[in-house]
A and B are shown apart, each in its own frame.
Chain A
Amino acid sequence: MGKLMDDSSGYETRTAKSSVRLLCWTLAWAGTMVVADKAELYQWHSSTLISILAIAVNAAIGLGVIVTYIRFLKELDDLERKIQFDALALSVGIGLVGGFTFCLLEAADFISDAEATDIIMLLALTYSVALIVGKVRFR
């Protein structure tokens, strides 16, 4: 039997485009977060309205990231989606358990000034490691 037709707009090409789109949205979100945070910190703008506008733009782009990520998940095939869902489930679980553990440790005075960013870092790290483990596991 002959060779199959090569699909130039195949799966790899489509998911690569989706990944780049998601990366652009994420970078835009991170960029607007830095602008909103630093502007507040260094008082680049004296008007409250501009502060609110900077935060609103950041939140709007954040919503864009969520929509783009959902579309990205829909583009993925069964296995890639499973790897993503496993990583998300693990990071949400670790985030919840870690978050409450942090709260309990702080309440018991074992640690001081637990920051929300610590939990976000934990979530991001868990998600990244779980993605790599998933990729290696099904290689």
Chain B
Amino acid sequence: MKNRLKVLRAERDWTQADLANALYVSRQTINAIETGKFDPSLPLAFKAARLFELSIEDIFQYEEAS
């Protein structure tokens, strides 16, 4: 799954730690999501969407495995 978390965070001048605090997760989790190593759960995706005031699809895009 691709995501725009890093771009959206940079636009707001937030650090990974800022975003981790706001979403109540570890900074390691934010980093793993941003680098595509880990896909968030649906509740976490909803929390991120609410925080950025966007829809989930605006942040996360599902990619078919090739």
Report which A residues bind B (CB closer than 8 A). Answer: 1, 3-7, 10-12, 15, 77-80, 82, 135, 137-139
Q: Evaluate whether A79 and B14 lie within 8 angstroms (CB atoms) in the complex, with A4-B21, A7-B21, A11-B21 already known.
A: no
Whether A1 pairs with B28 at a CB distance below 8 angstroms is: no
Whether B21 pairs with A10 at a CB distance below 8 angstroms is: yes
Beta-carbon contacts under 8 Å, B15-51 to A: 18-22, 24-26, 28-29, 31-32, 37-38, 40-41, 44
Inter-chain CA distance A10–B23, complex, in Å, is 9
Could you say which residues of chain A place their CB within 8 Å of the CB of B37?
137-138
Report which B residues bind A (CB closer than 8 A). Answer: 11-14, 18-22, 24-26, 28-29, 31-32, 37-38, 40-41, 44
29 A-B pairs, CB-CB below 8 angstroms?
A1-B11, A1-B13, A4-B18, A4-B21, A4-B22, A5-B22, A6-B18, A7-B21, A7-B22, A7-B24, A11-B20, A11-B26, A15-B26, A77-B25, A77-B26, A77-B29, A78-B38, A78-B40, A78-B41, A78-B44, A79-B26, A79-B28, A79-B29, A80-B28, A82-B38, A137-B37, A138-B28, A138-B37, A139-B31
Could you say which residues of chain A place their CB within 8 Å of the CB of B25?
11, 77-79
Could you say which residues of chain A place their CB within 8 Å of the CB of B38?
78-79, 82, 138
Q: Evaluate whether A6 and B26 lie within 8 angstroms (CB atoms) in the complex, with A79-B38, A138-B37 already known.
A: no
CB closest residue in chain B, given A12: B26
Determine which of B11, B14, B31 lies in contact with A4 in the assembled complex, contact meaning CB atoms within 8 Å. Answer: B14
Taking the closest CB of chain B, its distance from the CB of A102, in whole angstroms, is 35
Taking the closest CB of chain B, its distance from the CB of A83, in whole angstroms, is 9
Inter-chain CA distance A139–B28, complex, in Å, is 6
Inter-chain CA distance A80–B24, complex, in Å, is 12
Taking the closest CB of chain A, its distance from the CB of B21, in whole angstroms, is 5
CB closest residue in chain A, given B13: A1
Given A4-B19, A137-B37, 14 other A-B residues pairs in contact with their CB atoms under 8 A? A1-B13, A1-B14, A6-B18, A6-B21, A7-B22, A11-B20, A15-B26, A77-B44, A78-B29, A78-B44, A79-B25, A79-B28, A79-B29, A80-B26
